Amino acid sequence: MNTIKIFTLFSGYDSQLMGIINAVKNSKKHFDVELVGWSDIDPDVQRIHNLTFPEYADRCYPDVTKIVWELVHPFDVLFYSSPCQSASRSGRREGFEKDSGTKSSLVWAVEKAIACKRPKWLVLENVEGYLDPQNEKTLIKWARTIASYGYVSFFKVLCAADYGVPQNRNRIFMISMRIDNEKDFTFQWPEAKKLTVKPENLLEDNVDDKYYLSVEMVNTYIDLLRNACDGYTCSVKHELDHPTKYFSSQFTRKISSTVTPLTKNGAIPTLQTGCGCTNLVAYASCRQEGLPCVVEVWEGEKGIQPIELKDEKPCSQTPKAKKKPYRSERILSIIDNLKDGQYLRIRQLTPKECLRFMGVEDMYIDRMLHPYDALAKEGYTEEQVTSLMTIDGKYRKVSDYALYGRAGNSIVVDVLTAIFTSLIKQYPNSFGEYCGKSPEEVKALKKREYARRHYEKHKAEVQRKSREYHRLKRMSNNKSKSDEQ
């Protein structure tokens, strides 16, 4: 079976690998997938990658600038998604010029890999800021650099909400193909489809109370929804010395869950690396970029009182709005229609939910959140899992903070799946042993592969017929000898 070999740079938990695995499953072609190597310098990220893909824990090349590419095995696809902070519209906007020293300029370290290994395919992903006027010239320089090694490139901005995930996440993708025997090269980007998944479909059923806001923060959030405009300032007011909170055990049941704010296409705003924080202005969408939260209505007896959290300090936020909330009437209608015995609770998205909004399957999420239990079911011992979580001699559990950061920095799997599915469909002969071969050579290789698979499928029957043939031949020979005597 032909194998698609991939190397990922700035890998994160490797949504790139998840995408190509899914694409191969969707394809009618017969492919295996192998991760030749991956690179990420952050120990927390390495730990998460080890748990997500434990079979590739020994293939990490931590520092992209120090990889000796001559010692790396060949691969078909090089995926690179360099740090976006310096090119992002919400970042410092320092750009990614070569030798500028910015984090985003690490993209130029990829040139060594291209020059040495010259893989058939290069795939770039990054923020829309790559196309801003201050970065456009640098992007053109990068495209020309790739072209000098014999590649032709196409780029397009794709939105995750157009590929089945309810997140309004726009990212630029650039596909580059090494020209071998191809006379013409075009790439048909995957078609957008109507979003049918609602944000509420990705929520967990049972959520730990630690993710819920205090009553005082909820009241401030409501104040922002009702009154915020550009320059409006309020503060979280505390009547007691400590914050108070409702707990799930105080109620009979949860009546409803509503994700807010939503964009015009019914998706949540782009998840950021700080998607685990409790920013009330962002929750109320009183700034340029909103932050999704969950508004819940719970039912219980009348007169339930919140519990004082004597081990916690009061919230010190002083929210300052930059604009009027977007579609606040949607949530205010829920608040204004609460009945006796109904209570409002607001919470942040959990790490699991954020990863679901990035298209990550629960199988992988369970490996990150509950590594000992999840990997034990797959045959890993406790010692092996501990080893996966030990980086440079330091053992550490995966924190919520690390998972929120990975989700905000990663790529939506479903978009990658759509891209790779389109790639495999259009150029099935550009991977593994087929790569770079003429149509006649590919035909001969496929013929041999078909014969091999046919033999493997009917091996027992072929062997039985072979034994029967030789048995009859021996009987015939023995009979001939007997007749001669």
The tens digit of pLDDT for each residue in 427-451 reads 988 887 655 555 565 566 556 666 6
Closest listed residue to residue 209, CA positions, set 149, 266, 250, 240: 250
Average pLDDT, integer, range 245-260: 97
Average pLDDT, integer, range 155-164: 96
Per the structure block, which two tokens stand in for 467?
């034994």
- Note the pLDDT of residue 395: 96
- Note the pLDDT of residue 422: 95
Average pLDDT, integer, range 94-112: 80
Closest listed residue to residue 388, CA positions, set 403, 406, 367: 367
More confident residue, 328 or 440: 328
Q: Quick one: which H or E segment has residue 177?
A: strand 170-178
Average pLDDT, integer, range 196-216: 96
Query: 343: number of CA atoms within 13 Å, CB side?
Result: 22
Distance CA 14, CA 8 (A): 8
More confident residue, 202 or 471: 202
pLDDT over 90 (residue 327):
no
Q: In the sheet that 170-178 helps form, which strands lie side by side, from edge to edge?
A: 31-39, 2-9, 77-80, 121-127, 170-178, 151-159
Is residue 222 classed exposed, middle or buried when 0-12, 13-18 and 19+ CB atoms within 10 A define those classes?
middle
Distance CA 286, CA 265 (A): 19
- The whole-chain average pLDDT of the chain stands at 89
Closest listed residue to residue 289, CA positions, set 331, 323, 330: 323
- Least confident range of 187-191, 226-230, 309-313, 448-452: 448-452
Average pLDDT, integer, range 105-123: 93
Average pLDDT, integer, range 363-386: 97
Average pLDDT, integer, range 198-209: 97
pLDDT over 80 (residue 377):
yes
Average pLDDT, integer, range 41-60: 97
Distance CA 344, CA 359 (A): 29
- Note the pLDDT of residue 274: 81
- Note the pLDDT of residue 483: 64
Decide: helix, strand or coil at residue 148.
Answer: coil
Distance CA 128, CA 122 (A): 18
